[in-house]
Amino acid sequence: MTAEVIYNGQLRTTATHLRSGSVIETDAPTDNKGKGERFSPTDLVAVALASCILTTLGIAESTHDINIDGATAEVQKIMVSDPRRIGEIVVTISFPQSRPFTDKEKAKIEHIAITCPVHRSLAADCVRTIRFNWPL
């Protein structure tokens, strides 16, 4: 088992990662009867995509000799209705200005980003827009 999730009432949950004891609380968003005081479950899905991209790139660093230390990701989640769901996740990845990337490195990074496990696990009708801000 990976985690235990407890419903605490008032649209809030606490998830505990069993191996590490790390805890994440969620709250329903304000546009869906919640307080919006924590990440919502759908926020976590969007953040999981960005985290997965950066983690997968980090794993590939040693294989492809590409250093992404200091890279950041901004995440935007766009909800749609009928049924209520994530319609689009926009992830903008920015790389440090410390060194330029070759065209070959950029192509490899872009390929890794769109083939990370979370990207591949999202529903086909969930648009995934991945943008890259390369060093100048």
- CB neighbour class for 84 (10 Å; exposed up to 12, middle 13-18, buried from 19): exposed
Fold of 41-133: GMP Synthetase; Chain A, domain 3 (3.30.300)
Q: Please indicate, yes or no, whether the overall pTM of this predicted structure exceeds 0.85.
A: yes
| Long-range contacts of 71-80, Cβ-Cβ distance < 8 Å, separation of 24 or more | 71/95, 71/96, 74/50, 75/46, 75/47, 75/49, 75/50, 76/46, 77/42, 77/43, 77/45, 77/46, 79/31, 79/42
Residue type, 90: V
Q: Domain residue spans in the chain?
A: 3-32, 41-133
Residues 45-101: tens digit of each pLDDT: 999 999 999 999 999 988 888 889 999 999 999 999 999 999 999 999 999 888 889
Supply the pLDDT for residue 103. Answer: 94
